[in-house]
Chains A and B, each alone.
Chain A
Amino acid sequence: NAGVTQTPKFRILKIGQSMTLQCTQDMNHNYMYWYRQDPGMGLKLIYYSVGAGITDKGEVPNGYNVSRSTTEDFPLRLELAAPSQTSVYFCQTRDREKGELFFGEGSRLTVL
């Protein structure tokens, strides 16, 4: 039982490049989230999904896209990387019944 698997752990991008952060879970949770965490700013919600085929914007969605074709996978896409997207990104699932959160290890992204 792997929980939430998030890749890559580290990535350096040049301005204008694109990339996808992968997130996979094996707990059959319907609720999945992508957050970014900047120093002193807490967790900001980028996008979330309450089930396969359903996604919705969070607090800071600009510059990102997501898809949810299966319950297990919730990739986050950066189309044109910008320095403002330098951050640590966390994928998360939530057990709707108990309120428990399950986080991926985080992905540290630097855009130069």
Chain B
Amino acid sequence: AQRVTQPEKLLSVFKGAPVELKCNYSYSGSPELFWYVQYSRQRLQLLLRHISRESIKGFTADLNKGETSFHLKKPFAQEEDSAMYYCALSNQGGKLIFGQGTELSVKP
């Protein structure tokens, strides 16, 4: 079965602290993994995809097939990073499912 788990509903950190948003997945084939972000009153937008291996807004994510994880990391959180973050998995057939989301709150 295809499944995405984000164990934390809410993550609260202080500005300048490191951030790690966890994402674990279950899929027997070769997944395509994404992180999407939703800022207050805005639509979901793509943050990262694992195949591009880019760093966007200081965030990175590495696919760990052994641990079936795709955790999102940033060394120094900023207040403008406060948002809902969704991890998503797509199979080769185009099916796209999301985790439950993690609300990141960065305090001054």
Question: A: which residues have CB within 8 A of B?
Answer: 31, 33, 35, 40-45, 48, 50, 56, 58-59, 94, 96, 98-101, 103
Q: How large is the interface on B (under 10, 10 to 19, 20 to 34, 35 or more residues)?
A: 20 to 34
**A-B CB pair tally, cutoff 8 Å:** 48
B11 at the interface (CB under 8 A from A): no
Q: When chains A and B are docked, how far (Å) is the Cα of A2 from the Cα of B95?
A: 24
Can you list 11 residue pairs at the A/B interface with Cβ under 8 Å?
A31-B96, A42-B6, A42-B101, A43-B98, A50-B93, A58-B97, A99-B34, A99-B46, A101-B36, A101-B45, A103-B43
In the complex, what residues of A have CB within 8 A of residue B6's CB?
42
Known: A31-B94, A50-B93, A101-B44. A42 touches B100 (CB 8 A): yes
Question: B: which residues have CB within 8 A of A?
Answer: 6, 9, 32, 34, 36, 43-46, 49, 52, 86, 93-101
Q: Are A43 and B86 in contact (CB under 8 A)?
A: yes
CB B67 to nearest CB in A, in angstroms, measures 22
Q: Are B100 and A56 in contact (CB under 8 A)?
A: no
Known: A41-B100, A42-B86, A101-B36. A48 touches B49 (CB 8 A): no
